[in-house]
């Protein structure tokens, strides 16, 4: 059975993004259901998978990262990004999905990691 994990790296500071609030939603047609929320640790990762076990199933999901709050704690103005929402699809419940986020105050990138 698979699992969903994430981590955040702050490319503007060259370090993991600590204490970022993350929310995981499952999307059904046009509605969203909050499934889990977590905060990143010192390594920019969550202490537990965001989704695993019987709850890990195929479908459309959204990860919401509260980037503005992270930069505000560092006294860095972030006028462009307030939050980052990544919509993705789990198409095989037997595989693990890792969704990393690379951030700076003016941009971000993501990919499916391993």
Domains in the chain, number: 1
pLDDT, greater one: 114 or 51: 51
- Dihedral sign from CA coordinates of 48, 52, 54, 56: positive
Q: What CATH number does residue 20 fall under?
A: 2.60.40.180
pLDDT of amino acid 114: 81
pLDDT of amino acid 58: 95
pLDDT of amino acid 3: 96
Q: In the chain, where do the E strands start and end?
A: 3-10, 15-16, 21-28, 31-39, 51-52, 59-65, 84-90, 97-104, 107-110
Q: Which tokens belong to 98?
A: 């890792």
- Domain hosting residue 36, numbered range: 3-110
pLDDT of amino acid 99: 98
% residues pLDDT > 90 (the chain): 92
């Amino acid at each position: 059975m698979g699992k969903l994990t994430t981590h955040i790296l702050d490319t503007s500071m060259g370090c993991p993004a600590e204490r970022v609030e993350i929310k995981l939603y499952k999307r059904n047609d046009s509605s969203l259901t909050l499934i889990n929320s977590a905060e990143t640790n010192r390594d920019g990762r969550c202490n537990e998978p965001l989704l695993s076990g019987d709850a890990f199933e195929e479908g459309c999901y959204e990860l919401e990262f509260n980037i503005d709050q992270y930069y505000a704690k560092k006294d860095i103005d972030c006028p462009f990004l307030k939050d980052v929402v990544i919509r993705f699809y789990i198409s095989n419940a037997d595989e693990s999905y890792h969704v990393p986020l690379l951030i700076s105050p003016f941009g971000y990138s993501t990919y499916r990691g391993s």
